[in-house]
Amino acid sequence: MTQTPLVDLRDICLSFGGVRAVDHVSIDLHAGEVVGLLGHNGAGKSTLIKILSGAYQKDSGEIRINGELADINSPRDARRYNIETIYQTLALADNLDAASNLFLGRELTTALGFVNDAQMEAETRKIMARLNPNFKKLKEPVSALSGGQRQSVAIARAVYFNAKILIMDEPTAALGVHETQMVADLIKELKAQGLGIFLISHDTREMLDLCDRVSVMKNGALVGTERVEDVTEDDILSMIIMGKNPKKAA
């Protein structure tokens, strides 16, 4: 691909105290592409994408969006670049209902500037009808929802606001087989609409199925990035475990 990437992370570093959570990592993402991030627990995947979503500030390196240097210092900044994130920890306010969570930070308001709960609820019904037709608990606080239902709220929040760049950190970790399939279908649909998606998962087979390219991290560093058609599941596993790219070594 020679066109300018949608997202270009270059030489990103971030340390927590003495721990190098992200160590000179460079990754890019194109429109209509799904790039998977793999690696052991604590490899630095979540930290890397949190830098892109504005939750953490990088120590060094640069972020380019559509080729232009982007200054992302807060989640608010990331939203301005149409970056939406589904966090591993879901990041929902448990005491609020689905609609309040979906619109949190971007409430619809009436002409007088008051929050318009009725309209937000109606919008939530609409998007939920598309994403998860079984979702009925609109009035209850999300603490009353199952893990999968909470997940659909988090996904709905990312999808509703016309994201161009979507970050999904283990979106299927809490889901049953059926719901996992729904998320997979959704990812394909969004990809077809031209979104760029960063996907994090520990399920290697699922990743090979959904992603165009996969990047493997270990101890904060990038082991390698490969097109899925060029590698086998075993290659990926050995990259994760050994921290070496078998194709490069060969």
Partner 1 sequence: MTDTSTDTTPAAPKRTLIQSLEIDLRLLGMIGAFAIVCITFNLLTEGRFLTPRNIFNLTIQTASVAIMATGMVFVIVTRHIDLAVGALLATCSAMMAMTQTTWLPQYLGLELGHPLIPWIAIAVGILTGALIGAFQGWLVGYMAIPAFIVTLGGLLVWRNVGWYLTNGQTIGPLDETYRAFGGISGTLGEFWSWIFGLVATAAALWILAASRRNKKAHGFPLKPLWAEGVVAAIVTIGIMGFIWILNSYQIPSRVLARDFAARGLEVPEGYSAAYGLPISVLLLIAVAVVMTIVARRTRLGRYIFATGGNPDAAELSGINTRLLTVKVFAIMGALCGLAALVASARLANHSNDIGTLDELRVIAAAVIGGTALSGGIGTIYGAILGALIMQSLQSGMAMVGVDAPLQNIVVGAVLVLAVLIDIIYRRRTGAG
Ligand X SMILES: Nc1ncnc2c1ncn2[C@@H]1O[C@H](COP(=O)(O)OP(=O)(O)OP(=O)(O)O)[C@@H](O)[C@H]1O
Binding site for partner 1 (CB under 8 A): 53, 55, 74-76, 79, 85, 87, 89-96, 100-101, 104-107, 109, 113-115, 118-119, 121-122, 134-137, 141, 143-144, 149, 176, 178
Closest-CA residue to 26 (of 41, 16, 34, 37): 37
46 interacts with ligand X by CB under 6 A: yes
Residue 200 or residue 214: which is nearer to partner 1 going by CB?
200
Q: Rounded to an integer, what distance in angstroms lies between the CA atom of residue 234 and that of residue 75?
A: 37
Q: Rounded to an integer, what distance in angstroms lies between the CA atom of residue 22 and that of residue 184?
A: 28
70-99 footprint of ligand X as x/- string (CB under 6 A): ------------------x-----------
Site for Mg ion in 88-107 (CB under 5 A): 88
Give helix 147-160 / helix 117-131 axis angle, nearest 10°: 110
User: What does 158 bind: partner 1, ligand X, Mg ion, none (CB cut-off 5 to 8 Å by kind)?
Assistant: none
Strand, coil or helix: what is 2?
A: coil
Count residues binding ligand X (CB under 6 A): 12
CA angle 216, 220, 186 (to 5 degrees): 45
Among 7, 47, 172, 245, binds ligand X (CB under 6 A): 47
Residue 12 or residue 78: which is nearer to partner 1 going by CB?
78
Q: Rounded to an integer, what distance in angstroms lies between the CA atom of residue 73 and that of residue 226?
A: 30
Residue 100 or residue 215: which is nearer to Mg ion going by CB?
215
Q: Are 210 and 34 in contact (CB under 8 A)?
A: yes
DSSP code, position 12: E
201 interacts with Mg ion by CB under 5 A: no
Distant-in-sequence, close-in-space partners of 250: CB < 8 Å, separation ≥ 6 = none
Residue 83 or residue 223: which is nearer to partner 1 going by CB?
83
Residues that bind Mg ion (CB under 5 A): 46, 88
